[in-house]
Amino acid sequence: MSTASTPAVVREPDGGPVRSGPPRRALARAAGPRTAYLLFVAGKLGGAAVSLFAVLVTSFFLFRIIPGDPVRKMTHGRQVTEEQLAALRRQFGLDQPMWQQFTDYCGKALSGDLGTSYQFHAPVGELVAEKFPATLLLTGVAVLVYSALGLWLGTRSAWRHGGLGDRLNTGVALTLWSIPAFWLGLLLIIVFSVGVGPIPGMFPTGGMESGEETGFAHVLDVAHHMVLPVLTLVAVGYAQTLLVMRSSLLDEMGSDYLTTARAKGLRDSLVRRRHAVPNALLPTVTMIFINLGHVAAGSILVETVFSWPGLGGLFYQALSVPDLPLVQGLFVVFAGAMILMNLLADLLYPLLDPRVGR
């Protein structure tokens, strides 16, 4: 007498209700590593899409609570009648119900239209494209420098933890990490631009270029203007990278696989480079990709302090009105860059550690 087979009853690991059939991860594993990775990618893409929609919702309602009437602030100091103010509100769509403004905003944003700036009377997308190269130059150089510097010093500090170099590096990093970037920028301007005592002013107080040089002289002029803002960003950013890399590598120091590698006769530098550092990179990779996401935003306060003509300074100008389409558009660009970089970091994890996503 034969009995019909019934699916196994499996309790979820999180203590949830009992369900029949194998767990989803077991199904993915049974289907093979390729299918498991595709499911992992699909889940991350779905999460990124949900996050982006949440950003759209947040960007619309968050900046609606800024006090002040944008139309009145734009016309401040001018003789404008109430009829003209009402006409401007109709032109910008501010006379419509909130729900209609929201649906129009989401529909245009999903099609790539971020609206038209109130104060510049230009599409937000064009303004972003115009200012982005300056931000990419400044923040991109800073991120590359402080990521490399932080990884190198963090690795050396962890590998020789407790020594004089470790204590010195950690103390300096903690001090710089606790200093607000804008305050450090102002301090550097006072010391190296204005000049203090015997220290002469050597660098410009702000801006990106003098506007007089051409060719290679122009390149040197831009580099001269970049020194202080890049130094400000590097001083604050490398400290975070160093501390995260040091902490991650210290967690790996007592692992059995490092003892086994040393027992095989491998040199200490080889054990560090080939075994310890790759396994300690996951938290640092996340942070580096998040920092790359900051390339779009730049550093709003640092760009403002140094009058750098990038997206950070543009965002500050938009907040002062408030220029709602420009503020919302920049917020979506900044947050979208962060979501994209976080997604790329998640997709890179399985390449660094094959256990991720299985």
Is 63 inside a domain boundary? no
pLDDT of residue 75: 63
Is 273 inside a domain boundary? yes
pLDDT of residue 6: 44
pLDDT of residue 231: 92
pLDDT of residue 74: 65
Is 167 inside a domain boundary? yes
Is 17 inside a domain boundary? no
Number of domains in the chain: 1
pLDDT of residue 18: 46
pLDDT of residue 25: 52
Record the pTM. Answer: 0.73
Is 87 inside a domain boundary? no
Is 109 inside a domain boundary? no
Domain of residue 314 covers: 119-321
Is 114 inside a domain boundary? no
Query: Low-confidence residues of the chain, pLDDT below 50?
Result: 1-22, 24, 27-28
Is 64 inside a domain boundary? no
**CATH code, domain carrying 287:** 1.10.3720.10
Question: Contacts from 53-57 at CB under 8 Å and sequence distance 24+?
Answer: 55/331, 55/332, 55/335, 55/336, 55/339, 56/105, 56/106, 56/109, 56/110, 56/332
